[in-house]
């Protein structure tokens, strides 16, 4: 049997006047905040990370495989460019450094230069020899 419209309006009017006690609301708020704190503690930490990773890998789609492949390719490329080459260098043996300055020896004189006549009267004729 279906209730009539009058019965429904009477029921709504009756329920409109009913309100829970203030103590009920205080307990409700305390329980609500306690549940929020418990949920925040559950969401942080290593167990949440492991749960997240497990759910992420269990629902792998093509886009996640592409993201994973891209990240792996980038990591390998960065590792390739950042690893140093295996260059073997041999250090030279240590030697004593002498700070004494030795003057260069005087160059030997050339005999042909003494035969040149560089006087002003012989301009253009420097005593070249024709071979």
Cα→Cα distances 85→64, 77, 82, 123, 126, Å: 34, 15, 9, 67, 63
Q: What is the pLDDT of residue 32?
A: 93
Average pLDDT, the chain: 79
- pLDDT, tens digit, for every residue of 38-75? 887 776 677 777 877 777 777 777 777 788 888 899 99
Check the CA dihedral 48-54-56-58 and report its sign. Answer: negative
Q: Is 0.75 surpassed by the pTM of this model? A: no
Q: pLDDT means per 10 residues in the chain (131 residues)?
A: 88 82 88 87 74 75 80 92 80 82 79 66 58 55
């Amino acid at each position: 049997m279906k209730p009539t419209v009058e019965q429904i309006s009477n029921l709504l009017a009756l329920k409109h006047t009913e309100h829970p006690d203030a103590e009920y609301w205080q307990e409700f708020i305390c329980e609500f905040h306690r549940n929020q704190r418990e949920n925040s503690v559950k969401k942080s930490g290593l167990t949440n990370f492991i749960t997240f990773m497990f759910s992420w890998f269990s629902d792998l789609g093509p886009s996640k495989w592409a993201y994973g492949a891209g990240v792996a390719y980038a990591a390998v490329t960065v590792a390739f460019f950042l690893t140093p080459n295996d260059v073997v260098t041999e250090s030279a043996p240590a030697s004593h450094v002498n700070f004494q300055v030795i003057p260069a020896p005087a160059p030997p004189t050339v005999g042909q230069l003494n035969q040149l006549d560089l006087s002003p009267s012989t301009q253009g004729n420097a005593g070249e020899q024709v071979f």
